[in-house]
């Protein structure tokens, strides 16, 4: 095999940037492919060359192996890195790449295929002596496994084609249902029954193999904290794994890799019961999202190792005798509303600045648009410290001080998890977020006093922005009056409601300021549109603010956390009034179904319109008993957030 | 660049005493401002609010750009009279959509916003300011018209208000009327003569005669809405250009109108960057004596109001009881004439006349800092032609074309008031410090003059002079003149544009200069500068 000189990354976002970074360090040229939605994304700009994949949906773009190979030829790339997701575990694509004379930076297609069948993989692992959960491929055999058990699609993933069965009587129906779902989703109706562990830990081992017969374990990661079967907090090493267990897990993982003739980076996933017994779950034949925690504790660059191995080189010495230094924790930042069922959120990032001192692998920047077309993960933030507690504290502090505005994220949830007692005690498992209410963990970090302080800073920065933009009297004191009759005021709103800040800036900059009628003892040391340096209650703090009176938003960050406010306009154009009883789209999306017609009588809670956004359905229900007086949308229509869908008149129902 | 030093001794006992005395006057001033804000009083305000209406200053605050400054004019008009302090109307200059505008708002809590003689004078002054400075006018209308008991004083001169509105329009000074309530009879011509009219639905009533008058005049039955409702005017008569759903909406529309006026200032813009004064303006309280007999150096004031405290003094060695020179204030060039030791002699008068001519040559606005007891009297001075010298100064002031700004810092007596650009000499703005006084002469002098004249008259008639009556007369006259020369008395009669806190002097002058620059600043040319 010849040296790789130009890598095309068949992926987007943070992982594309991640691969480019190592490629650049190795002196290898980089090629991006991008959909129309990603035309302005940072990863496209950072690549040496980029090739457009027309369209926006993954099916039109990043999943089109033929287009990706053609792009590699067009840009004269000699290797393809698939990243994770999309085509990364598609054996057919891997074969196309190789057939096209390109280097495939990934495991052999046969290994991908072997691990693609859950059932096949389990058999192979059992034969290789790797512990597996007892399973049965027949309904009759299932009884021996015992309940609860899990009905699983062999070709499945992402929770689809899966059923938990707690009683024998439910089994037959569950198998039928899972089988139907699997056939529909994956084109393969094969299902099997497996022992179901309640709330296990998710432990996975990073393995690496080269084409010279070396297979090495780079230790475990724990990724127990998940929501909707997706990991959100990952760490290495696991607080539940000691050296002895680590070596057994490592041996099992290496055995698994050897069993499929593995080459490259792979992850062997295990479930682990409270008694530390563990069983093979599946093997991921790609670089994992959470690979950075392994990089942090081993000091290895896994992408570099992938490139070396794909070039036919042996694993370097440091990879063959790895060791653990400290502890690393990664969190995944998602554009989603953790307090509202993790509903995905779209929008434009007005501000995006991860605090320094931690590693961040992110695919976005200020101004990036979070579109509904792709995964809602906007990046990962990773802290590495001598101990687990220090890593958690460092990561929490960095997240808290990061500036993220314009799009709701799970940041506050992550910060709370990192400081939560069970988490700090290492008591984590896959049911963590069932025991700890995400609505509470995800609530705004700021307490009431913090929110008031941020509201005050917002008002003062807006004031400064107004003065800075003044065309006349620009340097006359703000809000100056020779006959003061009332203070200045501004009304700002966030998710918790509206806040009225009144203030009067007196002689020498002395400020009288109330937040919702409550006097704040405040002394301002410096005040500009982007920074308010003030003592509140005698404690001095710096508030970084982005106040844009024109767009009507004001974002505040301090050591206490972040707030995003919108400015409530003083005046409302009456032509913009929405008729009373109007139900508006809570998010941008497309109308899937309209369930009522004008004139229909509806009861409170009746579904009226179903929207789809970010691959999730959202039902708009009637807030009241009444009559539908107007339907403004039809199925298939795209709507923006705030568009009126249906108008319900509550008055008529009383009669 | 010559920078004025800080010579104020903040530890001196007289500093503290002066400061205390001035703060006391300011506290009294604040109390009077409170009365103006209170308008028609608690009950009237409550009744007004119950109708869902905003107070005049609330309307103004909403109209203005958020956080922009506002200079209220003549706030203590009618002080000490039988009328409510403020004269039932609020006037001032503010910024709407980045444009300086003159705002007038009736106070409907004071006798329904009816216009009394003092309010009429105040509005006349506001109108003059708009004309001289090319300021668009926004009228926030809600007034029952003329205050009927005083109609004889306002009916005939009051017509000028409507005349001025349309003359403004003729001069391309836009006029906007936002009608919140009654605007009837003659008052109907306020919106009637305006360029843009907004009326609030269900609230604005604009008609010549209300239902009772119509019934009396023609026997016709009618109601308010038919005769002058906002809806009728917007849809039928066409008098209203915009129909607002409520007060907020009217103000929104008012801002929308101003945004499209396409106003451009014709004067030179100020320097884009400049330094603040080096010395603390708060010191002025301890610098300025409330006893007018104590002189103070106006350079200590200039050091606290001019950009960077820089002052290029002109002719410092000649006529030294008048300080003249050039500086800059909030980025605008300015020439200063400031009384230093009260009396104006021939040298000072000639120096002033020459300096005013120079400022006109260089199109530089002029600031007059008054603290004068007048022109020197006495044989020697008369014989050396003090009248001719004073006449030169008054001539120069009267015929100067650059904008003038006058601050009465203390004394403004006799013809010194004229030479130092008193009210009759049409400075663009004239503000008074709370310690200041103005009269034809000092109370003691005036009483003494009367006494001497009376004594001479008695002697001529061979009558005995009643010394006791003389003393009583002198005391009475002294008291009366003293009362009538006080800042509050003068501001009540709109002889200034308001009393200001000395610490606001730089701010108020900065705003005034900016306002004046809506027009080109152009000095009078003709002869060369006469060297006096």
Q: What is the pLDDT along chain B (532 residues), one digit of tens a residue?
A: 799 999 999 999 999 999 999 999 999 999 999 999 999 999 999 999 999 999 999 999 999 999 999 999 999 999 999 999 999 999 999 999 999 999 999 999 999 898 999 999 999 999 999 999 999 999 999 998 888 888 888 888 888 888 998 999 999 999 999 999 989 877 788 899 999 999 999 999 999 888 988 999 899 999 999 999 999 999 999 999 999 999 999 999 999 999 999 999 999 999 999 999 999 999 999 999 998 888 899 999 999 999 999 999 999 999 999 999 999 999 999 999 999 988 999 999 999 999 999 999 999 999 999 999 999 999 999 999 999 999 999 999 999 999 999 999 999 999 999 999 999 999 999 999 999 999 998 888 889 999 999 999 999 999 999 999 999 999 999 999 999 999 999 999 999 999 999 999 999 999 999 999 999 999 998 888 998 7
Q: CB-based contact (8 Å) between B273 and chain A?
A: no
CATH of span A326-443 = 3.30.470.20
Say which of A472, A482, A483 has its CB closest to residue B100: A472
Cα–Cα dist A191/A183, whole Å: 10
Q: For chain A, say whether B157 makes contact (Cβ under 8 Å).
A: no
Q: In the β-sheet with A215-227, what is the strand arrangement from edge to edge?
A: A278-284, A264-272, A201-209, A215-227, A230-236, A327-334, A377-385, A359-362
Residue A170: Cβ-neighbour burial (10 angstroms; 0-12, 13-18, 19+) = middle
Decide if B97 touches A, using CB distance below 8 A.
no
Chain A interface residues (partner B, CB cutoff 8 A): 462-463, 466-467, 470-473, 475-483, 485-486, 488, 490, 507-508, 549, 570-574
CATH 2.40.50.100 in chain A: give the residue spans.
576-649
CB contact under 8 A, A472 and B255: no
Domain with CATH 3.30.700.30 in chain A: 448-567
Contact B66 A482 (CB under 8 A): no
Task: Please tell me the CATH code under which domain A6-105 is placed.
Answer: 3.40.50.20
Architecture of domain A448-567: 2-Layer Sandwich (3.30)
Q: What is the dihedral of CA A245, A248, A249, A254, to 10 degrees?
A: 160
Whether A570 and B248 lie within 8 Å, measured CB to CB:
yes
What torsion, rounded to 10 degrees, do the Cα atoms A578, A579, A583, A589 define? -40
Interface residue B87 vs chain A (CB under 8 A): no
Using CB atoms, which residue from B37, B67, B514 is nearest to A485? B37
- State the smallest CA–CA distance between residue B528 and chain A in angstroms: 35
Low pLDDT (below 50) residues in chain A: 652-655
Distances (CA, A) of A325 to A144, A298, B133, B375: 44, 6, 75, 92
Q: How far A575 CA sits from the closest chain B CA (Å)?
A: 11
CB-based contact (8 Å) between B81 and chain A? no
What is the three-class DSSP state of B409? Answer: strand
Q: How many CB atoms lie within 10 A of CB B479?
A: 12
| Chain B residues within an 8 Å CB radius of A467 | 67
Structure token digits, residue A566? 């919108």
d(CA A334, CA A410): 6
CA proximity to B409, closest of B278, B299, B280, B277: B299
Put simply, whether B266 touches A (Cβ < 8 Å) is no
Pick the CATH number of A576-649 from 2.40.50.100, 3.50.50.60, 3.90.1140.10, 2.30.42.10: 2.40.50.100
Distance from the A578 Cα atom to the nearest Cα atom in chain B, whole angstroms: 15
Nearest Cβ partner of B58 from A473, A486, A507?
Answer: A486
B243 sits in which H/E element: strand B242-244
Q: Give catalytic residues of A, as residue numbers.
A: 286
Question: From A503, which residue of chain B is nearest by alpha-carbon distance?
Answer: B67
Interchain proximity B95–A573, CB inside 8 Å: no
B35 and A CB contact within 8 Å: no
Cα–Cα distance measured from residue B147 to residue B83, given in angstroms and rounded to the nearest whole number? 11
| Interhelix angle B346-361/B386-399, nearest 10 degrees | 20
Q: Is B61 on the interface with A (CB under 8 A)?
A: yes
Backbone angle region of B462, left / alpha / beta, with phi > 0 → left and psi within -120 to 50 → alpha: left
d(CA A439, CA A434): 11
> What is the SS3 assignment for B72?
strand
Q: Which residue intervals of chain A bear CATH 3.30.1490.20?
A: 134-195
The whole-chain average pLDDT of chain B stands at: 95
B64 burial (CB, 10 Å; 0-12 / 13-18 / 19+) is buried
Contact A193, A178 (CB under 8 A): no
Q: Do A480 and B507 touch (CB under 8 A)?
A: yes
B72 touches chain A (CB under 8 A): yes
| Alpha carbon A605 to chain centroid, angstroms | 31
Query: With an 8 Å Cβ cutoff, is B185 touching chain A?
Result: no
- What is the model's pTM? 0.87
- In which residue ranges of chain A is CATH 3.40.50.20 found? 6-105
Which secondary-structure segment (H or E) carries A72?
helix A65-74
Q: Rounded to a whole number, what is the distance in Å from the CA of A265 to chain B's nearest CA?
A: 60
How far, in Å, CA of B66 to CA of A465, rounded? Answer: 10
CA–CA gap between residue B144 and residue B139 (Å, rounded) = 15
Q: Which residues of B touch A507 (CB under 8 A)?
A: 282, 503
- Which residues neighbour A177 within 8 Å (Cβ) at sequence distance 6 or greater? A163
The reply to whether residue A482 touches residue B514, judged by beta carbons under 8 angstroms, is no
A386 DSSP 8-state letter: S
B57, B100, B500: residue with CB nearest A482? B500
Quick check: B397 contacting A, CB < 8 Å?
no
**A156: which DSSP letter?**
E
> If one looks up domain A134-195 in CATH, what number appears?
3.30.1490.20
The CB-based long-range contact list for A534-540 (8 Å cut-off, 24+ gap) reads A534/A456, A534/A457, A534/A460, A536/A453, A536/A456
Q: Which residues of B touch A471 (CB under 8 A)?
A: 98
Rounded to the nearest angstrom, the minimum Cα separation between B72 and chain A is 6
Q: How far is CA A55 from CA A37, A66, A505, A550, A585, in A?
A: 8, 15, 54, 33, 26
What phi, psi does A325 have (nearest 5°)? -120, 115
Residue from A205, A202, A252 nearest A222 by CA? A202
Chain A with chain B: Cβ pairs closer than 8 A:
89
Q: Which residues are within 8 A (CB) of B374 and not within 5 positions of it... i.e. 6 or more apart?
A: B343, B344, B413, B414, B415, B416, B417, B441
pLDDT value for A653 = 40
B251 CB neighbours in chain A (<8 A) are 571
Quick one: A206-323 is in which CATH superfamily?
Answer: ATP-grasp fold, B domain (3.30.470.20)
Distance from CA of A493 to the nearest CA of B (A): 17
Q: Would an 8 Å CB–CB cutoff place B131 in contact with chain A?
A: no
- State the span(s) of chain A assigned CATH 3.30.470.20: 206-323, 326-443
Q: Given the structure tokens 């002052």, which residue do they identify?
A: B311
Do the Cβ atoms of B282 and A507 come within 8 Å?
A: yes
The neighbouring-strand residues paired with A566 are A493, A553
CA max distance for chain B: 81
A615-619: Cβ within 8 A, 24+ apart: A615/A344, A615/A372, A616/A343, A616/A344, A617/A592, A618/A343, A618/A586, A618/A587, A618/A589
pLDDT of residue A654: 39
Determine the distance in angstroms separating the CA of B98 from the nearest CA of chain A, rounded to an integer.
6
- The closest CB to that of A485, out of B57, B252, B508, belongs to B57
Give dist(CA A145, CA A166) in Å, integer.
12
Which residues of chain A does B75 touch, with a Cβ-Cβ cutoff of 8 Å? 482-483
Question: Is the minimum CB–CB distance between B58 and chain A shorter than 8 Å?
Answer: yes
């Amino acid at each position: 095999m010849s040296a790789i000189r130009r890598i095309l990354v068949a992926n987007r976002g943070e992982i594309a940037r991640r691969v480019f970074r190592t490629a650049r360090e190795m002196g290898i040229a980089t090629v991006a492919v991008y959909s129309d939605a990603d035309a302005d994304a940072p990863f496209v700009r950072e690549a040496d060359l980029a090739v457009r994949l027309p369209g926006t949906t993954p099916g039109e773009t990043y999943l089109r192996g033929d287009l990706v190979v053609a792009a590699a030829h067009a840009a004269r790339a000699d290797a393809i890195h698939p990243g994770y997701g999309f085509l990364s575990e598609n054996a057919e694509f891997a074969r196309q790449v190789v057939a096209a004379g390109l280097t495939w930076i990934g495991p052999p297609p046969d290994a991908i295929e072997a691990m693609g069948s859950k059932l096949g993989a389990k058999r192979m692992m059992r034969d290789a002596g790797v512990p597996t959960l007892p399973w049965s491929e027949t309904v009759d055999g299932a009884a021996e496994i015992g309940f609860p058990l899990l009905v699983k699609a062999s070709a499945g993933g992402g929770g689809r084609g899966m059923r938990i069965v707690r009683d024998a009587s439910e089994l037959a129906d569950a198998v039928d249902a899972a089988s139907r779902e699997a056939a529909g989703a994956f084109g393969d109706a094969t299902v099997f029954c497996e022992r179901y562990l309640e709330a296990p830990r998710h432990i996975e081992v990073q393995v690496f193999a080269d084409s010279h017969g070396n297979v090495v374990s780079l230790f475990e990661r724990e990724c127990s904290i998940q929501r909707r079967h997706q990991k959100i907090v990952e760490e290495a090493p696991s607080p539940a794994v000691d050296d002895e267990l680590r070596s057994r897990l490592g041996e099992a993982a290496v055995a698994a890799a050897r069993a499929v003739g593995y080459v490259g980076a792979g992850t062997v996933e295990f479930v682990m019961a409270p008694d530390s017994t563990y069983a093979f779950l599946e093997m991921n034949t790609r670089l994992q999202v959470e690979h950075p925690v392994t990089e942090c504790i081993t000091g290895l660059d896994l992408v570099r190792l992938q490139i070396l191995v794909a070039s036919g080189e042996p694993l370097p010495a440091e990879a063959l005798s790895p060791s653990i230094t400290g502890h690393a924790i990664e969190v995944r930042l998602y554009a989603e509303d953790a307090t509202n069922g993790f509903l995905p959120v779209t929008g434009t990032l007005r501000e995006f600045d991860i605090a320094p001192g931690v590693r961040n692998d992110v695919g976005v920047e200020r101004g990036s648009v979070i579109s509904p077309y792709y995964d809602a993960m906007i990046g990962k933030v990773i802290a590495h410290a001598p101990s687990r507690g220090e890593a958690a504290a460092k990561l929490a502090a960095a997240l808290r001080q990061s500036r993220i505005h314009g799009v709701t994220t799970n940041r506050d949830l992550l910060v709370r998890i990192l400081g939560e007692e069970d988490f700090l005690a290492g008591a984590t498992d896959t049911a963590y977020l069932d025991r700890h209410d995400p609505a509470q963990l995800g609530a705004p970090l700021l307490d009431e006093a913090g929110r008031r302080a941020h509201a005050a800073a917002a008002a003062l920065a807006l004031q400064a922005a107004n003065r800075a933009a003044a065309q006349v009297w620009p340097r006359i004191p703000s809000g100056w009056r020779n006959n003061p009759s009332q203070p200045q005021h501004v009304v700002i709103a966030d998710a918790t409601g509206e806040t009225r800040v009144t203030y009067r800036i007196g002689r020498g900059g002395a400020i009288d300021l109330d937040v919702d009628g409550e006097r704040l003892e405040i002394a301002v040391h410096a005040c500009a549109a982007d920074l308010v340096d003030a003592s509140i209650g005698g404690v001095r703090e710096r508030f970084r603010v982005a106040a844009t009176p024109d767009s009507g938003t004001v974002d505040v960050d301090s050591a206490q956390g972040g707030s995003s406010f919108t400015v409530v306009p003083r005046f409302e154009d009456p032509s913009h009034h929405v008729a009373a009883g109007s139900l508006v789209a809570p998010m941008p999306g497309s109308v899937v179904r309209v369930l009522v017609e004008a004139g229909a009588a509806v009861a409170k809670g009746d579904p009226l319109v179903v929207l789809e956004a970010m691959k999730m359905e959202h039902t708009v229900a009637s807030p009241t008993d009444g009559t539908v007086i107007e339907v403004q949308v039809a199925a298939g229509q795209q709507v923006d957030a705030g568009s009126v869908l249906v108008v319900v008149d509550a008055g008529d129902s009383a009669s | 660049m010559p920078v004025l030093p800080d010579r104020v001794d903040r530890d001196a006992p007289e500093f503290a005493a002066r400061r205390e005395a001035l703060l006391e006057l300011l506290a009294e001033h604040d109390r009077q401002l409170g009365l103006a804000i209170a308008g028609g009083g608690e009950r009237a305000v409550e009744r007004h609010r119950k109708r869902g209406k905003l107070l005049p200053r609330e309307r103004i605050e909403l109209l203005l750009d958020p956080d922009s400054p506002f200079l209220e004019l003549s706030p203590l008009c009618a002080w000490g009279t039988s009328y409510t302090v403020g004269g039932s109307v609020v006037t001032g200059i503010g910024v709407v959509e980045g444009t300086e505008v003159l705002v007038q708002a009736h106070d409907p809590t004071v006798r329904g916003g009816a216009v009394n003689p003092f309010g009429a004078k105040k509005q006349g002054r506001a109108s003059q300011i708009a004309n001289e400075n090319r300021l668009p006018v926004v009228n926030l209308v809600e007034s029952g018209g003329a205050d009927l008991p005083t109609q004889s004083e306002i009916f005939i001169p009051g017509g000028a208000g409507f005349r001025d509105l349309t003359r403004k329009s003729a001069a391309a000074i836009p006029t906007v009327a936002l009608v919140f309530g009654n605007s009837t009879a003659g008052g109907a011509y306020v919106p009637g003569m305006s360029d843009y009219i907004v009326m609030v639905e269900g609230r604005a009533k604009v008609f010549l005669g209300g239902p009772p008058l119509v019934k009396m005049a023609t026997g016709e039955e009618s109601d308010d809405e038919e005769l002058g409702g906002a809806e009728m005017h917007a849809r039928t008569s066409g008098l209203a250009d915009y129909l607002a759903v409520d007060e907020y909406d009217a103000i929104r529309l008012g801002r929308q109108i101003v945004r499209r006026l396409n106003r451009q200032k014709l004067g030179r813009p100020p320097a884009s960057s400049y330094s603040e004064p080096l010395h603390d303006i708060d010191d002025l309280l301890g610098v300025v004596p409330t006893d007018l007999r104590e002189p103070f150096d106006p350079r200590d004031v200039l050091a606290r109001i001019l950009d960077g405290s820089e002052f290029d003094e002109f002719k410092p060695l000649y006529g030294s009881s008048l300080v003249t020179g050039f500086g800059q204030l909030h980025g605008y060039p300015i020439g200063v004439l400031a009384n230093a030791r009260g009396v104006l002699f021939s040298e000072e008068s000639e120096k002033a006349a020459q300096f005013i001519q120079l400022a006109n040559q260089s199109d530089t606005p002029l600031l007059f800092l008054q603290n004068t007891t007048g022109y020197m009297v006495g044989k020697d001075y008369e014989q050396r032609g003090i009248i001719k010298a004073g006449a030169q100064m008054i001539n120069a002031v009267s015929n100067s074309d650059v904008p003038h700004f006058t601050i009465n810092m203390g004394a403004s007596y006799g013809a010194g008031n004229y030479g130092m650009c008193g009210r009759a000499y049409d400075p663009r703005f004239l503000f008074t410090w709370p310690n200041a006084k103005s009269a034809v002469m000092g109370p003691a002098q005036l009483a003494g003059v009367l006494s001497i004249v009376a004594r001479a008259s008695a002697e001529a008639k061979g009558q005995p002079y009643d010394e006791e009556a003389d003393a009583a007369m002198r005391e009475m006259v002294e008291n009366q003149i003293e009362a009538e020369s006080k800042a509050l008395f003068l501001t009540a009669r709109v002889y200034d544009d308001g009393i200001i806190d000395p610490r606001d002097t730089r701010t108020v002058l900065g705003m005034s200069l900016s306002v004046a620059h809506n027009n080109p600043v152009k000095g009078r040319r003709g002869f060369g500068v006469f060297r006096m």
